[in-house]
Amino acid sequence: MKCKKFKSQNKRVFIILSINDIIIIINNNSKRGGILVSKGSKIFTIVAFFIVISVVGYGVYAFSKGAAFFPEEDIKYFKTFAQAFQIAKSNYVDPEVVTSKKMIYNAIKGMIESLDAHSGFMDPEGAKELEVETKGMFGGIGIEITVKDGILTVVAPIDDTPASRAGIQAGDQIIKIDDKITKGMTTEDAVKLLRGTPNTKVTIHIMREGFKELKPITLVRDIIKIKSVKYKLLENHYAYIKISQFQEQTTNDFVKAINELQANNEIKGLIFDLRNNPGGLLDQAVKISDQFLDEGTIVYTKGRDGKEGARFNATKGKSVGNYPIICLVNSGSASASEIVAGALQDHKVALIMGTTTFGKASVQTIFPLEDGSSLRLTTARYYTPSGRLIQAKGIVPDIEFKDSSPHTIREKDLPRHLPGVEEDKEKQVDTKKEDIKEITKPAKAPEEDEMVKKAIELLKGYEIFKNRQK
């Protein structure tokens, strides 16, 4: 049997175990690891291991710098897994339940999802859905969801979708989808139930603070075309731009919006709305930040060894003019939107107004697998230009603005959330002490939104003060 090494450009070594290309090291004296076979070895060990190999037809990847083979400790636990797999496959009462695909997929899902709240496994169908979503169009009801304490919870409804029109709010707990209980359900499984053919119905049963019993809400699925950039001129001189999510075309749409507003009007200030923006593509967050800056760091990352990874810097040629800017945020502002808010705050080009953001400062990388499935794995933490790590903390606004709406969940509330460096892993934050309430569902028209009104007042005040200094 020949052993083959596969090296990628980043010098990570791939060891592939598949039915077509079995790479195993059988060496009695190997100090580097592998399967050790001696005359007294039990045949079961080899048989069980080859059962797993035959099942994992799409490949198992081992990533380690310079290490060519699985270490002996890993082989030990692979053997345990093989034994458990064989016992379950051969003895479980309902044989149709223990299909090879289902058992292996569930094993991978459990392994990856136990790492943190944002790592996960997507089967081929789920991987395709993720690709579709980043392009900004899919069939569904229009909500961003997560799992808190085993309960499916709404992070934010997407504007102008069946969910937002039906009054679904951030923080709503989805207890049932049609006749299926959601407790213990993954977000990927929930998405499969919520999405579907347009004009078909789905009923969600929600619990909300103040409700005495579950409230069923029947929604008609629609094509969710996420128009990520909306804009409007307020009171003749104040530009309003809202980004609802960072997608492939977000920067292009933003530049078109700001250019149109600036070309036809005397802009005295910009209200930049990132409320209930759950994030999206990192490169779009960087490019949007670059529209406000001509130089300096936008964001940088640190990986598993604590060393700096990628650093993203601004370039000359910003599209936003030299006028005062107020950026609106709330606890529904997460991930990519926090990168933008953090960059604007650190470079002092905008005042941040609202309530503390979600606090997700981790980077997930998609690793495609051979059969079309994918791993979504947390690979780094990101830092604002000044070196702040906001993981499980969030961006604290310069101007706090509250109202009577119920607050939503934040990163620190999620089980298995990735801790910040300064956070004690053994002492999670007591979220019961949090009494901040905020706007979770802004008014449809910005001119009717209380926070927008307050921002315009501040911009007018700045204009008056500036004129008096002349």
Token duo for residue 275? 């409320």
Judge residue 197's burial from the number of C-beta atoms within 10 Å of its C-beta, 0-12 exposed, 13-18 middle, 19 or more buried.
exposed
Compute how many other C-beta atoms are within 10 angstroms of the C-beta atom of residue 336.
28
Is 360 considered catalytic here?
yes
d(CA 388, CA 114): 27
Among 148, 268, 360, 412, which one carries the catalytic annotation?
Answer: 360
Q: Find the catalytic residue in 116, 253, 346, 449.
A: 346
Q: Which of 119, 289, 335, 337 is catalytic?
A: 335
User: Scanning the structure block, which residue is given the tokens 């990519």?
Assistant: 336
- 346 catalytic residue (yes or no): yes
Own/partner long-range contacts of 19-27 (Cβ < 8 Å, ≥24 apart): 19/53, 19/54, 19/57, 20/57, 22/53, 24/49, 25/69, 26/1
Angstrom distances, CA of residue 362 to CA of 54, 110, 118, 145: 35, 20, 9, 17
Angle at 137 between CA 326 and CA 239, to 5 degrees: 20
Amino acid, res. 343: A
Side chain identity at residue 400, one-letter code: E
Asked about 335 being catalytic, the answer comes back as yes
Active site residues per annotation: 335, 346, 360
